[in-house]
Chains A and B, each alone.
Chain A
Amino acid sequence: AQSVTQLDSQVPVFEEAPVELRCNYSSSVSVYLFWYVQYPNQGLQLLLKYLSGSTLVKGINGFEAEFNKSQTSFHLRKPSVHISDTAEYFCAVSVLNQAGTALIFGKGTTLSVSS
């Protein structure tokens, strides 16, 4: 079975500082990896996804993530955060090419950006 571990439940940072949100996954088969963002009282929005190919993937809002198969990690990074990046971030894993198989989410990381 697949599982996702987000190593930090809360990450407080100052505006314009870099940030890394850590995610490790566990799976015995090939997977797709995703990062979703959830703003207060809103739905889940896809930030970026890794399917195959280049291990460095770029997403929306200046975020990027690097897939590291040997370390089974998919950490999310942004070089300079804004106040508006304050939100809940979820890492998720999906089994490759399994119709109907769900995304499994991590517990989430709360990113708090202050001035």
Chain B
Amino acid sequence: AAGVIQSPRHLIKEKRETATLKCYPIPRHDTVYWYQQGPGQDPQFLISFYEKMQSDKGSIPDRFSAQQFSDYHSELNMSSLELGDSALYFCASRYGTSGSSGELFFGEGSRLTVL
């Protein structure tokens, strides 16, 4: 079965550079979530989208922005990168209407290293 696809899987950037992560949800899933997991930390919710509209916002820095496109894929844009942004970034998707099981399906993650 198709899973959540994230790209790139690994990314190395310098401080103050910009990075873009992409997420392709499971087909027919209309809700996408972004999480950040620092080394040895639990996943922290950043932001989510339902039917291309932002639906919930967590601890996403102002330097970051995201959107969901008409084909339901999502992109996380990170600017003015800092060393502390080095983390594993997960995307997750689900079918978000009422009656949903609530289960999120996670991608393998994109590992960002800021030097």
Contact = CB atoms under 8 A, between A and B. Distances in A.
B82 interface: no
A53 interface: no
Interface string A72-115: 00000000000000000010001011011111111110000000
Chief secondary structure at chain A's binding surface: loop
A14 B98 CA distance: 43
Contact of A100 (B48, B90, B105): B48
B104 interface: yes
A97 B99 contact: yes
Given A100-B55, A101-B56, A102-B48, A32 B42 contact: no
Interface residues of B, number: 29
A114 B100 CA distance: 39
Contacts of A43: 90, 106-109
B98 A99 contact: yes
Interface of A: 32, 34, 36, 42-46, 49, 51, 90, 94, 96-97, 99-108
Given A44-B90, A101-B48, 20 more contacts: A34-B102, A34-B103, A43-B108, A43-B109, A44-B43, A51-B101, A51-B102, A96-B102, A97-B98, A97-B99, A97-B102, A99-B50, A99-B97, A100-B31, A100-B50, A100-B96, A101-B56, A102-B33, A103-B45, A106-B42
Interface of B: 31, 33, 41-45, 48-50, 55-56, 58, 90, 92, 96-109
